[in-house]
């Protein structure tokens, strides 16, 4: 028996499959929407129509499942939101769900708008406080706990093993949005998670040129069949070209995530001293409330996401935003280029995010360029008034 290949090798070679006909190293893109039925009524590989499945998906699905480990299975979706909402829409009316209050805002908004009309009993709680989780869970009624760790945009850390233990004792599943950590740093199935979701738009693809999502399950059970059926019949599927781009992006996942994590740690440590900042929120800093759990739960780094809070409040935050030259002012995260955004104005008036906060997605540029850009922007913002138009 050969020793099993490490995840880095599987990712670099996209599972190492070679096309048996041509010998091609890069997989084929299967554009066909339909498949030939044989004279006896059967199909070549059981495939009928591409809304149900497409061979091009499988390169990315099998690779992501092997990176998340635990014998998991994966289904790609048209976006991260299509993936996350497929999980919630596979629940039944009346089901009680506990959702972390610190959460990607798009999902919080969807749950507030549609969770109720779907008949779900959605309760937002502080998932980092295990006593709160214990008292909020209702055995026999709670079907799902939804966790994001590190969580947007304070990078709050949830203890996955502890939350899974509480949930399973009460007969509930745990779904983890692993977009920010990626399987490079955290594999939630190892801590007991039942479902893992990704916005593959972010680190998995990594080049800010593709919208995609994925749901993974620890085991193929009836709930998983409902999620797959939702994709097949609801139709929130990915185009074959997008699926192909995703497998290509994932080949460099480990390099990108390790580089972004190392740079983010350097930047967070350096900025920790800056007089214009009242806080640097990064789980890699010992001062972060989730640091100890993160050190246990994340391997090889603390991720590429950090936030800063300005002493001078919203005005100074906007001035810093206006002054950067290397960072790009844009939403989203996990791309090769570094991004900065004023999160509360992005999320709108109902946002719980403090207005003195800027969210940074660290890319793979030279860290000294990023640090110099931020320091120059912080210095100029503390000296100059806010430019009109960014108010
Ligand atoms: C972006 C994001 C999503 C939504 O993904 P889309 O691909 O934009 O639909 C969900 N969760 C997290 C943590 C995200 O950052």
Q: What is the pLDDT of residues 217-246, one digit of tens each?
A: 999 999 999 999 999 999 999 999 999 999
* Residues 324 and 307 both lie in one domain: yes
Cis peptide before 153 (omega within 30 of 0): yes
Spacing, Cα 134 to ligand 1 middle (Å) = 28
Residue nearest to atom 4 of ligand 1 (CA): 80
Give the C-alpha separation, 305 to 302, whole Å.
Answer: 8
Spacing, Cα 199 to ligand 1 middle (Å) = 4
SS3 state at 96: strand
Query: Which residues have CB under 8 Å from 345's CB, separation 6+?
Result: 355
Predicted pLDDT at 391: 44
Contact between 254 and 299 (Cβ < 8 Å)? no
* Domain of residue 77, CATH code: 3.40.640.10
Residue nearest to atom 6 of ligand 1 (CA): 80
Question: CB atoms < 10 A from the CB of 117, how many?
Answer: 8
Q: Is the dihedral of CA 329, 334, 338, 343 positive or negative?
A: positive
Nearest atom in ligand 1 to 82's CA: 9
SS3 state at 144: strand
Cis peptide before 141 (omega within 30 of 0): no
Q: Of 250, 282, 314, which residue is a domain's last?
A: 250
Ligand 1 site-directed mutation target among 80, 86, 205, 237, most atoms within 8 Å of CB: 80
- The two tokens of residue 45 are 């590989």
Return the closest-CA partner of residue 179 out of 147, 154, 202. 202
Residue 269 lies in a domain: yes
Task: Say how many domains are in the chain.
Answer: 2
Predicted pLDDT at 116: 87
Residue 1 lies in a domain: no
Spacing, Cα 353 to ligand 1 middle (Å) = 17
Give the percent of the chain with pLDDT over 90: 91
- The two tokens of residue 99 are 């959702």
> Cα dist. 282→199, 275, 286, 312, 360 in Å?
21, 17, 9, 20, 10
Q: Of 226, 250, 274, which residue is a domain's last?
A: 250
Q: Which residues line ligand 1 (CB under 6 A)?
A: 79-81, 84, 104, 106-107, 148, 152, 177, 179-180, 199, 201-202, 211, 213, 333
Contact between 326 and 337 (Cβ < 8 Å)? no
* Terminal C-alpha separation, the chain: 64
Predicted pLDDT at 2: 85
Give the C-alpha separation, 91 to 187, whole Å.
Answer: 24
Q: Which residues of the chain have pLDDT under 50?
A: 388, 391
* Residues 38 and 165 both lie in one domain: yes
pTM for the whole structure: 0.96
Residue 87: give the domain boundaries.
7-250
* Residues 162 and 279 both lie in one domain: no
């Amino acid at each position: 028996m050969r020793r099993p290949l490490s995840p880095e090798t599987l990712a670099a070679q996209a599972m190492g499959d070679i096309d048996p006909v041509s010998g091609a190293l890069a997989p084929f893109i299967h554009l066909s929407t339909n498949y030939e039925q044989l004279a006896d009524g059967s199909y070549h590989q059981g495939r009928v129509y591409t809304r149900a499945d497409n061979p091009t998906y499988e390169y990315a699905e099998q690779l992501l499942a092997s990176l998340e480990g635990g014998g998991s299975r994966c289904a790609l979706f048209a976006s991260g939101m299509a993936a996350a909402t497929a999980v919630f829409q596979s629940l039944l009316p009346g089901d009680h769900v506990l959702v972390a209050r610190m959460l990607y805002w798009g999902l919080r908004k969807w749950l507030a708008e549609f969770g109720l009309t779907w008949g779900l009993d959605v309760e937002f709680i502080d998932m980092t406080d295990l006593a709160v989780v214990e008292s909020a869970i209702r055995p026999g009624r709670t079907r799902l706990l939804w966790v994001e760790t590190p969580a947007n945009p304070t990078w709050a850390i949830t203890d996955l093993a502890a939350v899974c233990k509480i949930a399973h004792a009460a007969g509930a599943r745990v779904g983890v949005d692993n977009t920010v950590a990626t399987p490079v740093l955290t594999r939630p199935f190892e801590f007991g998670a039942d479902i893992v979701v990704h916005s593959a738009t972010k680190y998995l693809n990594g080049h800010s040129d593709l919208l995609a999502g994925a749901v993974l399950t620890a085991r193929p059970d009836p709930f998983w069949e409902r999620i797959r059926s939702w994709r097949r019949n609801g139709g929130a599927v990915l185009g074959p070209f997008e699926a192909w781009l995703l497998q290509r992006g994932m080949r460099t996942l480990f390099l990108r995530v390790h580089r972004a994590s190392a740079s983010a740690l350097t930047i967070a440590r350096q900025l920790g001293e800056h007089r214009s900042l009242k806080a640097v929120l990064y789980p890699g800093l010992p001062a972060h409330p989730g640091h100890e759990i993160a050190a246990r739960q994340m391997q090889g780094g603390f991720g590429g996401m950090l936030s800063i809070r300005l002493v001078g409040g919203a005005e100074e935050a906007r001035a810093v935003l206006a002054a950067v030259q290397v960072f790009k002012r844009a939403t989203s995260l996990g791309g090769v280029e570094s991004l900065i955004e004023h999160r509360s104005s992005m999320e709108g008036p109902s946002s719980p995010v403090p207005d003195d906060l800027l969210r940074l997605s660290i890319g793979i540029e030279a860290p000294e360029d990023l640090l110099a850009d931020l320091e120059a922007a912080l210095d100029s913002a503390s000296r100059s008034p806010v430019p009109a138009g960014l108010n």
